[in-house]
Amino acid sequence: MIKYYVRVSTVEQKLDRQLLAYDKADIIYSDKVSGKDKERPQLKLLLEGLVPGDIVVVKSLDRLSRSTVDLLEIAKEIENKKATLKVLDKDIDTSTAIGKFFLTIIGAVAELERENIRERVLEGVAIAKEEGKYKGRKKGSIELKGDSLDRFIKFYKKGFNKTDLAKEFGVPRATIYRWEKVLKERGEL
């Protein structure tokens, strides 16, 4: 069975680009949560349900994980279940030795590049702050509406704690507290 895993970091982002990239999946698993954390509901479901011969497909490595260690752990779990991993944009197939090798190398290079980008952003922010040009994110820039609002209310009423809600919605815990306050003021919680 072909199992396609798609992920975006926040509920506001769309999965369309990934969904259009591959149409041969028997089942699609999708998460809307940061790739920094390996604990993602749909990824967990996918991995638990693997059987020998299954093929896990992702559009790109960063959809599966942002960490080389996590990426290799996920790949090992797929391999232990006698399934294979295919990465579309790098044409990686872990059913081959060269595919396993490239997965390790590309994962490490991708993590290095993310760290370099992060450092450059932090340097740019520091310079902008010194020049008085940086004031941080605008208040209320992460809004909750539509289906996300309905999902938040449902999860909140089921008793999800603030940390779990923050992970589920891909936002900081402070945002969860703000949403809770606003929704209580509006009488929706």
69 - beta bridge partners? none
Instruction: Kindly provide the b/e burial profile for residues 15-41, where b requires at least 16 CB atoms within 10 angstroms of the residue's own CB.
Output: eeebeeebeebeebbbbbbbbeebebe
Tokens encoding 92: 């990686």
CB 128 within 8 A of CB 149: no
What is the rounded CA–CA span in Å between residue 124 and residue 45? 39
Query: Is 9 annotated in the active site?
Result: yes
Dihedral (CA of 162, 163, 168, 170) sign: positive
Tokens encoding 78: 């797929």
CA within 13 Å, CB half, 80: 9
Check 9, 30, 34, 67 and give the catalytic one.
Answer: 9
The residues that are catalytic are: 9
